[in-house]
Amino acid sequence: MKCKINNKEIEIKKATGFKMRLFGLMGKKDIHYGILFPHCNAIHTFFMKENIDVIGLNDKNQVIYIYRNVPKNKIVKISEDAKKTSILELPKNTSQKIYVGSILKFED
C-alpha cells in the first residue's frame, strides 16, 4: 500500500504477521519505506541501524502522536489502548509536514 506524505508517495508495508511485527525495521539500512503496525501502542528501536520517525494513529488514521528522528535503543509508547491505536514507522525526517490532527490516507 502507499501513503502520500510531504507530496511524495511512500510505500507502506503492513505488519500483520508475527515475524514482521517482531522485527519491523530492525537491522535495516537505507530505509525507503514505512511499516504500519495495526492495533499497536508501543514500539522499540533496539537493534536499529538508523533513526526513524514514529507516528501514532487513532482508529480513524488521525495523527495523535509524532516522534521525529527517534534514535536506537528507545521505547516509544503512544497510548494505553492498543486496540484503537496503530503506529507508523517511517524513514527519518519524512514527517516534517505531518502534524497532530492530520489524517493519513492509505491506498492499495
Binning the chain into helix, strand and coil, the percentages to the nearest 5 are 10, 40, 50
CATH code at 2-107: 2.60.120.1140
More confident residue, 24 or 90: 90
Domain ranges of the chain: 2-107
pLDDT of 43 higher than 90 = yes
Whose CA is closest to 35, among 4, 58, 12?
12
The residue count for the chain: 108
pTM (two decimals):
0.92
Under 8 Å between Cβ of 102 and 58? no
**Which tens digit of pLDDT belongs to each residue from 95-107?**
998 999 999 999 9
Let me know the angle formed at the C-alpha of 75 by 74 and 79, rounded to the nearest 5 degrees.
150
Q: What cell numbers appear for 41 in the block?
A: 501502542
pLDDT of 62 higher than 90 = yes
Band of the pLDDT at 5, cuts 50, 70, 90? confident
- Average pLDDT of every residue of the chain: 92
